[in-house]
Amino acid sequence: MLFLARMDVHFPESLTPEQVADFQAREKEYSGNLQREGKMKGIWRVVGEYANYSIYDVENNDELQQVMAGFPMFKYMNVKITPLAEHPNHTDAVAY
């Protein structure tokens, strides 16, 4: 079951560059794990913004909430979720 997320990141001024780098390293590891587990199907930078669009494949809303809340930078993210359904024009020519 697929969901599209848009995530906008806003770090407070009080964070040091080291803290930011640490958050980003942990975020990268967490994100990579989600991809290898097949729960994150793709992630793309929104050009010019500290934001991404990403697609998730989860069993249900509770799992998606766990995935979201598990992001190390979750408290600094503004997340908007869009539930996706199969489109009638979808063909097998695309990956998912």
Cβ nearer to its own copies, comparing 18 with 93 = 93
Residue 33 CB, nearest distance to its own copies (Å)?
A: 9
| Token pair of 95 as six digits | 């990956």
Residue 78 CB, nearest distance to its own copies (Å)?
A: 8
Cβ nearer to its own copies, comparing 13 with 18 = 13
Which residues of the chain form contacts with its own copies (CB under 8 A)? 1-5, 12-14, 24, 27-28, 31-32, 35-36, 38, 40-50, 52-54, 60-62, 64-65, 68, 75, 79-91, 93-96
Residue 77 CB, nearest distance to its own copies (Å)?
A: 8
* 66-72: Cβ within 8 A, 24+ apart: 67/34, 67/39, 67/40, 68/5, 70/30, 71/7, 71/27, 71/30, 71/31, 72/23, 72/26, 72/27, 72/30
Cβ nearer to its own copies, comparing 12 with 18 = 12
Cα gap 60→45, rounded to integer Å: 25
